[in-house]
């Protein structure tokens, strides 16, 4: 009797897990669900943010901003830290970004993208696109320099600075 109860409990647990996971398998689609409560981005906008951050910090012998998913950090910071008014201004600037480029930013070569972003950086206006770019640039730099890769491989971050190292010989002053 105990053996069959165990088998029944195992089957019940397996069936419960299958029922709980079934909606995630059924609703698989190419669209990503929004993880942010205040900002909703389309896949094109998300790709644009990744391309902008990769243009700001390109991949060289070290991973670039896209490899460390810096654009996701930027969106999370905008969602959590900016006011509703600034979030709306950021999204408007993102929508106006391609218009300001006078060309499709994604179809430009890397030199053209860099030239456009440099010109945008040097402008001194209060337009939404300027607010968008300057915010994105600042958050990209902050996100990359606080990424795990940068802190461990470039900066030499130690989780406990000055920690005790028992195998290091000490000089005896006597």
pLDDT values of the chain reduced to their tens digit, one per residue, 174 residues? 455 777 777 777 777 766 776 665 554 433 444 566 778 888 888 899 999 999 999 999 989 998 999 999 999 999 999 999 999 999 999 989 888 888 788 888 989 999 999 998 998 888 899 999 999 999 999 999 999 888 888 887 777 767 666 676 667 766
pLDDT tens for residues 109-130?
989 999 999 998 998 888 899 9
CB contact at 8 A, 122 and 47: no
What are the residues whose beta carbons fall under 8 Å from the beta carbon of 77, sequence distance 6 or more?
A: 139, 142, 143
CA distances from 91 to 35, 76, 167 (A): 16, 13, 55
Nearest to 74 by CA among 107, 44, 48: 48
**For the purposes of burial, counting CB atoms within 10 Å of the CB of 72, is it exposed (0-12), middle (13-18) or buried (19 or more)?**
middle
Q: Give the global pTM.
A: 0.69
Nearest to 57 by CA among 123, 155, 147: 147
Alpha-carbon span 42 to 75, nearest angstrom? 12
């Amino acid at each position: 009797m105990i053996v069959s109860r165990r088998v029944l409990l195992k089957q019940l647990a397996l069936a419960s897990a299958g029922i709980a996971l079934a909606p995630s398998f059924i609703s698989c689609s190419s669209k990503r669900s929004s993880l942010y409560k205040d900002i909703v981005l389309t896949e094109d906008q998300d790709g644009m943010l990744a391309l902008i951050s990769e243009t700001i910090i390109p991949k060289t012998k070290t991973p670039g901003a896209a490899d460390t998913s810096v654009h996701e950090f930027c969106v999370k910071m905008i969602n959590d830290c900016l006011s509703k008014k600034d979030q709306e201004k950021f999204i408007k600037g993102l929508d106006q970004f391609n218009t300001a480029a006078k060309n499709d930013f994604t179809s430009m070569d890397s030199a053209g993208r860099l030239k456009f972003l440099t010109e945008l950086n040097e402008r001194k206006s209060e337009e939404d696109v300027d607010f968008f770019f300057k915010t994105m640039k600042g958050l990209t730099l902050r996100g990359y320099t606080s990424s795990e890769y940068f802190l461990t491989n470039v900066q030499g971050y130690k989780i406990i600075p000055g920690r005790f190292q028992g195998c290091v010989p000490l000089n005896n002053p006597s």
